Amino acid sequence: MTFSTAAPCIIGHRGAAGLVPENTLPSFEAACHLGVDAVELDVYAVDGQLIVIHDDDLDRTTNGKGPVTAQSFAALRRLDAGSGAGIPTLDEVWRLLPANVGLNIELKGPGTAQPVAAWLRDRAAGEPQERLMVSSFDHEALRAFQAASGHRAIVAPLFHRWRKDCVAVTRAFATDWINVNEKLLTRARMGLLTSEGLKISAYTVNSVRRAETLVRLGVHGLFTDRPDRVSRSALTR
């Protein structure tokens, strides 16, 4: 279905992070099995490789310690990221996705804009634009990505705090897509964003009730750790 599906677009957050260790291949497999429209992941660049992990240190999600970028790619690949699964590369996740599942790459680590642009050019050329989304809280990095990429993907700025200028910031990327912390999405703010014609994706929504409210208010996409619960069938009954 990908990102252009009719709302609600269900996006498996870090795979199916509420069910299987986040950002691992089994987590992405589980999300696909549960029928998501797309998955989201977080990338870092290490030794010229793009790896999939959320935190900037290894302690919470792996059996390693310290900053991700202090390790070599080879050392990172020996770690356990949960239930025996390793830290995957972006390419490994991409290869396991069925063609009808979209991918949201969140630029998380420093220096990921250029390598992600290059990766899209090399590995995802010819893919429909609506299958690929690149987002970041780091709007400088997102601008650098956009400049390098030739607009090969949907671009979506992320917001974890409400900003009065968030519409203008989004429009400056020449995109309609905006990804926002669900806690910020009051009725009034949703009214503002939808009246501007923006496509809003809310993170992270694990309750069906909250998901229903957001869809009623006009949210397009829902990032969820629990695609077993927050699913298209649960929301369109």
* Chain contacts with Mg ion (rule: CB under 5 A): 42, 106
CA distance 133 to 177: 9
| Minimum distance from residue 164 beta carbon to ligand G3P (Å) | 21
Select 37 or 42, whichever has its Cβ closest to ligand G3P: 42
Asked if residue 8 has a cis previous peptide bond (ω within 30° of 0), the answer is: yes
Quick check: 192 and 218 in contact, CB under 8 A?
A: no
Interface map 59-88 toward ligand G3P (x if CB under 6 A)? ------------------------------
Residue 22 interacts, among Mg ion, ligand G3P, none and using kind-specific CB cut-offs from 5 to 8 Å, with: none
Is 151 a known active-site residue? no
The amino acid at 55: D
Per-position x/- string for 205-224, each x denoting binding to ligand G3P as judged by CB under 6 A, each - no binding: ------------------x-
How many helices (DSSP H) and strands (DSSP E) are in the chain? 9, 9
Beta carbon of residue 108, minimum distance to Mg ion (angstroms, whole number)? 7
Per-residue interface string for the shown chain with ligand G3P, residues 164-183, x marking contact by CB under 6 A: ---------------x----
Q: Is 139 labeled as catalytic in the residue annotation?
A: no
Contact 19, 224 (CB under 8 A): no
Q: Does 42 bind ligand G3P (CB under 6 A)?
A: yes
Give the whole-angstrom CA distance, residue 43 versus residue 29. Answer: 18
Q: Distance between CA atoms of 107 and 179, rounded to whole angstroms? A: 13
User: Which residues are annotated as catalytic?
Assistant: 13, 54
